[in-house]
Structure 1
Amino acid sequence: MCGISGILSINDKPINREHLEKLHQAIEHRGPDSEGYYYDEHIGLAHRRLSIIDLRRESDQPFNVDERYVLIYNGEIYNYIEIKKELIKLGHLFKTESDTEVLLKAYIQWGEDCQEKFNGMWAFAIWDREYKELFCSRDRYGIKPFYWSIYSDCFYFGSEIKQLRIDKLGSKVNYEELSIFLYSGCTNSTNNTFFKDINSLEAGHSLKINRKGEKYIKCWYDLNKKINIDENEFKPDEFLYHINNAIRIRMRSDVSLGTALSGGLDSSLIVTLASNLYSRKNKDKLFGIHAKSTEEDTNESYYAEIAAKHAGCSLINVTPSYEYFKKIINEIIFFQDEPFASTSSIMQFNVMSKARALGLKVMLDGQGSDEILLGYTRLILPRLITTYRKNGILGFLNEIKNSNNNNNDINYKSLIKYLIGGGSSKLRTSYLRNRLNFVNLSIDPTYNLYEELKNQRGHIVNSQIIELKKTSLPQILRSEDRNSMANSVEARVPFLDYKLVEYCLNLKSDSKVKNGWTKYPIRSINKLPSEIAWRKSKLGYDSPEKAWDKKFSREMLSTIRNSPLILEITNIKELEEKWNVLNSKERWRLYNVAIWQKIFKVI
């Protein structure tokens, strides 16, 4: 994993090399092992490398082949060994052992169709010197970031937003994104960013641009087209094959590897299967790093210890304190580029920081499982509607009963909230508008997002796809990428192996949730201790947010009072009057925006 930067001039003037160097300096943390530049008459490409596979300098980038193509690339192609064998049979020769060379030669062999062959995470750009075209691609689910903008007759792109803030580019707030965040807590649900005129290339899309500035954005991966009409029966051996293979190829590395371990279902399964694979090749134990909350309600260390003992891994605990929280806030907000909804990101940052201290350059993590296996409580509405259609009122009531018995997040109060809120965007946004009546921003963007959710409430898989593409996964992956790369660590997410994702989405809904037990495939394959497999609680990186909020509340309000942006978009007197009525997440969002504006000086 690395960082990329680029500028393409779309007029006859040469690019500003100082601008490219400035872009590149902003992401030194993403690639401390080496850096390289490529300049042509009207393009500049730069790369920072975090060496993971084939550590030799021959694999450094920008990477050239045949004096025609130049590649810069961030990510990993996990099935590069298999693709390389196929390319060798087709007559290609290789000078390195890297996935970088495999990627570029796959593009030379198959053109844009190479994307379909890759199993991995990536954001890359390939300059064709003959046709004077730049081809850019982002992986299926957007695990790796790609930001771009056209400004002052140049196409700018990079791995992080902060790179692109050249001159006045990105100096203004995108109020629509800000509105969605303050009202709903959701981020990254569109291709826009919090910075006006800076865009994100959508997951599963490619972008081609030439010297004339002619730009084409194309969807090369459509998850909706991967869904079968007939749902599949769950077979434990099939599921185990897919998750095992996803973990196996994500353990391909020439550097030390560990895993995040919350103690939940996802991370416990990963550490169990990964430890088994790791022990076959190594004498030492796999490291599992756990972020322990100081708040009893959010402390999962008991389960993390059980999982570590069961897996035979070496458990390392970190316990972020209130003092750590205060000390690190500004730094994390800077690395994240955009506001984020929860202080749980601070727990994850601490895990990655510890990984770096231990010399672990690769970390496995459990993101994606909730989206593909109906792990979120809020997805109960489409489940109930589907059950009612199949089994009538008795089946509907039985589903409610089972969910209430086997999921601590489900009770009759929460059911009413999900049934009413999920069924009416108007009621949901009216509630938020009244609760946050001091915010002087239109709630329409949030209403539109809720409408999209509501329109799919009767379709379980469609609801899952929205979670994957809009309301959940994009912000989780952004947080993961920035927290890991800020510490020069590569995070890998086995549950987002595209073969596993497509397999799970095509399962029958009562295979994903059975008798009220969410993520049933993970629970039922007999790979976890029963205390974890049949847990009724769900946390995962939860911070002691309430305790931190209580101690920090006055300081947060003081910062908010002095924020030019908050003063612009709110009635500050009404905000102050409501401060103690707001919950910790709502207060955090306001404070996060205030600090974000101060750090990035947006107007």
Structure 2
Amino acid sequence: MCGIAGILQLNNSNQVNQNVLKTMNTLQSHRGPDDDGYHFEPGVGLAHRRLSIIDIAGSHQPLFNETGEVAVVFNGEIYNFAELTTELKARGHIFSTHGDTETIVHAWEEWGVDCVQHFRGMFAFAIWDRTKQQLFLARDRMGIKPLFYSLLPSGELLFGSELKVLTAHPDFDKSLYYHGIEDYFTFGYIPEPHTIYANAFKVNPGHYLLLDKTKATTLQQTQYWDIDFSQAVLTEQQVKSELLERLKEAVDIRLIAEVPLGAFLSGGVDSSAIVALMAQLQQDKAVNTCSIGFDDKQFDESDYANQVANQYQTNHRTGMVDRNDFSLIDKLAALYDEPYADSSAMPTYRVCELARKHVTVALSGDGGDELFGGYRRYRYQLHEEKMRGIMPQAIRQPLFGTLGKVYPKLDWAPRFVRAKTTFQSLAMNAVSGYCNTVSIMRSDARAALFSPQLKQKLGGYQSVEVFKRHAAKANTDDPLKLVQYLDMKTYLVGDILTKVDRASMAHSLEVRVPLLDHKYVEWASRVPSSMNISGNEGKAAFKQALQPHLPHDILYRKKMGFAIPLASWFRGPLKQTLQQALNSEALADSGLFNQNYIQQLYQQHISGKRDHSSALWTLLMFSQFYRQQLGQ
């Protein structure tokens, strides 16, 4: 895995400031500690940090074609590079290396922007074509690898693998994107294509940018791939016969590496499935696996991980996390560069730290819940949709809207009586209701949190617009597939894949994601919803296919998730840290929040009256960002 960076002058061809680009690139040296490389020519600067995985001795970047007219800097893996190399050689292209990077250069020469259609893998890359005077930026279909860009007032385009690469430029404008603050307190992250900064953007998954210096240039992203739910659904027999075989093929092509390789093993269904298939594919050697355990049994899954490790005789290592291991709070803000509120980033960081001591590449099970309907909220959504189908909106909205307002927020009570969110959602349509369900802070809580100044800057904007925008492209009337699509476009890329990329790259560890192989995703999108959720069982077909390979209690136990004890931390060892962050002058002087409401959240949580741990963690992470990144 690697990091890329660059500067392109759109208005002229002056020399790029080499020291500035080198400073930008050095800030992501953790992404590629093995090598760095630069290319400068009038108006252009390309930079690269390398983590050597394939063709270790060669494939130094920036890498050029035979004539030196086309250069690429690349982050990721092209798993079908061997077949592409054979095809491109047959078309007359001459290769000088044995890795996957050079296939990108020649594919660009052969197919232009359509080169991305030929790549199977995870990638973010930049191609500079001197002859055409074009810069081509592209990101993989699922958004596994990140890519940021910004256009400065001077006409300089910046790009990089992390946001800190852009903000390191002395002319970068750190003005906040206020809609991003609304989105952050809704989702816990800032969805693509935006960032916390008004003038910095993410390339969307399955999109590219083509910039031509010889023409009037606009920064317009072009979509080249999307998940299509309109294809005919698979038969039950097709699902049963192909589900694991297709996944095994996706795992198999991700076992190519010239460095030690292993897998994460949490003891959940998805990671256990990947390990089981890896063990079957490499029977001549044991799979390297690692997991994180907690000294608090409420959050510990290590016994289940050990069960799978013993079944497949893996080289298994477990790292234990102390229940009071909250030393990463400051580091997380620096790692993610913008507000990011998934607290499981802490154990994810630790498991990557453990894995890197033994391997350079690790396979993960991310994507299984989105692909096969594993989240409990999907089942709730289907139940709510049945109610929406029975009761007209004209009756539902006033009835459940009123109940949602007056019903108390019973965080402490059993789930079946915690109906406030459900009532709120039932008053809405499917898209708005699902947004309400997944929100960290509901719209009424955000309205109470935000200051009049921030509300004015928002101008009525609400985060549900993110879901509405994606829903308009979902191309399905199936209620389950709709929310799967929404999660793949938002939560999966903005939260899960972001978390894993930053945590793994902080330790120079490459993570590969077989379940998100785009060919497998295209196939899985055709699995009937009735086979994904059957009765009260999520991932039904997936679990059924795995029954010959994994124990029953691995497949059908209650899902735990990768959580940490936030509620008790905030009432105990983190109480003072939280209080200082919430009472900081920086947060108060920002003018963004209602400080009285923040104190209300804090006091209610500390007293044990309410559980506001998610909202308080979200505030804490924003405070850390504001202090570190904005120097406030």
TM-score scaled by structure 1?
Answer: 0.90
1:588 Cα deviation after fit = 0.5
Residue in structure 2 matching 1:480, options 482, 500, 511? 500
Correspondence for 2:361: 362
The 1:453/1:162 distance shift into structure 2, 3 A limit, reads closer
Q: Is the 8 A contact 1:263 1:304 kept in 2?
A: yes
Correspondence for 1:372: 371
Listed one character per residue, the Cα deviations across residues 116-160 of structure 1 (whole Å, up to 9, x for unaligned) are: 121100000111111111111100011111100110220100000
Correspondence for 1:236: 240
Listed one character per residue, the Cα deviations across residues 394-437 of structure 1 (whole Å, up to 9, x for unaligned) are: xxxxxxxxxxxxxxx99634677446426524895995424761
- 1:459 matched to 2:479: yes
**58-67 vs 553-562, which moves further:** 553-562
Correspondence for 2:39: 38
Tell me, in whole angstroms, the C-alpha distance in 1 between the residues paired with 2:253 and 2:465: 39
SS of the residue 2:61 aligns to: coil
Query: Mind listing any 5+ residue stretches in structure 1 that lack a counterpart?
Result: 393-408
Listed one character per residue, the Cα deviations across residues 175-207 of structure 1 (whole Å, up to 9, x for unaligned) are: 21112222x233232311012211111110010
SS of the residue 1:495 aligns to: helix
1:86 Cα deviation after fit = 2.1
Corresponding letter in the other structure for 1:541: F
- 1:445 matched to 2:462: yes
SS of the residue 2:19 aligns to: helix
- 1:565 matched to 2:587: yes
- 1:592 matched to 2:621: yes
Identity %: 29
1:246 Cα deviation after fit = 1.0
SS of the residue 1:577 aligns to: helix
The 1:316/1:170 distance shift into structure 2, 3 A limit, reads farther
Q: Is the 8 A contact 2:471 2:486 kept in 1?
A: no
Tell me, in whole angstroms, the C-alpha distance in 2 between the residues paired with 1:5 and 1:61: 12
Corresponding letter in the other structure for 2:566: E
The 1:340/1:268 distance shift into structure 2, 3 A limit, reads same
1:222 Cα deviation after fit = 3.5
- 1:575 matched to 2:598: yes
Corresponding letter in the other structure for 1:200: K
Structure 2 counterparts to residues 488-527 of structure 1, below 5 A: 488-525=508-545, 526=547, 527=549
Corresponding letter in the other structure for 2:597: E
SS of the residue 1:215 aligns to: coil
- 1:541 matched to 2:562: yes
Tell me, in whole angstroms, the C-alpha distance in 1 between the residues paired with 2:64 and 2:49: 16
Tell me, in whole angstroms, the C-alpha distance in 2 between the residues paired with 1:186 and 1:330: 17
Tell me, in whole angstroms, the C-alpha distance in 1 between the residues paired with 2:173 and 2:281: 45
Q: Is the 8 A contact 1:243 1:494 kept in 2?
A: yes
Correspondence for 1:395: none
SS of the residue 1:235 aligns to: helix
Correspondence for 1:50: 51
Tell me, in whole angstroms, the C-alpha distance in 2 between the residues paired with 1:372 and 1:77: 22
Tell me, in whole angstroms, the C-alpha distance in 1 between the residues paired with 2:616 and 2:170: 32
**123-132 vs 551-560, which moves further:** 551-560
Tell me, in whole angstroms, the C-alpha distance in 1 between the residues paired with 2:109 and 2:425: 50
- 1:340 matched to 2:319: no
Corresponding letter in the other structure for 1:594: S
Q: Is the 8 A contact 2:272 2:308 kept in 1?
A: yes
Correspondence for 1:276: 280
Tell me, in whole angstroms, the C-alpha distance in 1 between the residues paired with 2:175 and 2:30: 26
Tell me, in whole angstroms, the C-alpha distance in 1 between the residues paired with 2:320 and 2:446: 34
Listed one character per residue, the Cα deviations across residues 258-294 of structure 1 (whole Å, up to 9, x for unaligned) are: 11111110011111111222333x3xx2221111123
Q: Is the 8 A contact 2:228 2:525 kept in 1?
A: no
The 1:435/1:367 distance shift into structure 2, 3 A limit, reads same
The alignment's C-alpha RMSD in Å is: 2.7
1:322 Cα deviation after fit = 4.8
Tell me, in whole angstroms, the C-alpha distance in 1 between the residues paired with 2:233 and 2:388: 16
Correspondence for 2:22: 21
SS of the residue 2:282 aligns to: helix
Correspondence for 2:397: none
Correspondence for 2:182: 179
Corresponding letter in the other structure for 1:169: F
Tell me, in whole angstroms, the C-alpha distance in 1 between the residues paired with 2:29 and 2:521: 33
The 1:387/1:237 distance shift into structure 2, 3 A limit, reads farther
Q: Is the 8 A contact 1:24 1:163 kept in 2?
A: yes
Residue in structure 1 matching 2:224, options 192, 210, 221? 221
Listed one character per residue, the Cα deviations across residues 218-241 of structure 1 (whole Å, up to 9, x for unaligned) are: 434342446315454352221111
Q: Is the 8 A contact 1:368 1:473 kept in 2?
A: no
Q: Is the 8 A contact 2:176 2:196 kept in 1?
A: yes
1:310 Cα deviation after fit = 1.7
Q: Is the 8 A contact 1:75 1:120 kept in 2?
A: yes
The 1:431/1:104 distance shift into structure 2, 3 A limit, reads closer
The 1:261/1:146 distance shift into structure 2, 3 A limit, reads same
Structure 2 counterparts to residues 83-94 of structure 1, below 5 A: 83-94=84-95
Correspondence for 2:121: 120
Tell me, in whole angstroms, the C-alpha distance in 2 between the residues paired with 1:415 and 1:313: 44
Correspondence for 2:141: 140
Corresponding letter in the other structure for 1:577: Q
Correspondence for 1:406: none
The 1:538/1:566 distance shift into structure 2, 3 A limit, reads farther
SS of the residue 1:157 aligns to: strand
**134-143 vs 86-95, which moves further:** 86-95
Correspondence for 1:254: 258
Query: Mind listing any 5+ residue stretches in structure 2 that lack a counterpart?
Result: 392-412, 606-611
The 1:413/1:105 distance shift into structure 2, 3 A limit, reads farther
The 1:288/1:93 distance shift into structure 2, 3 A limit, reads same
Correspondence for 2:193: 191
TM-score scaled by structure 2?
Answer: 0.86
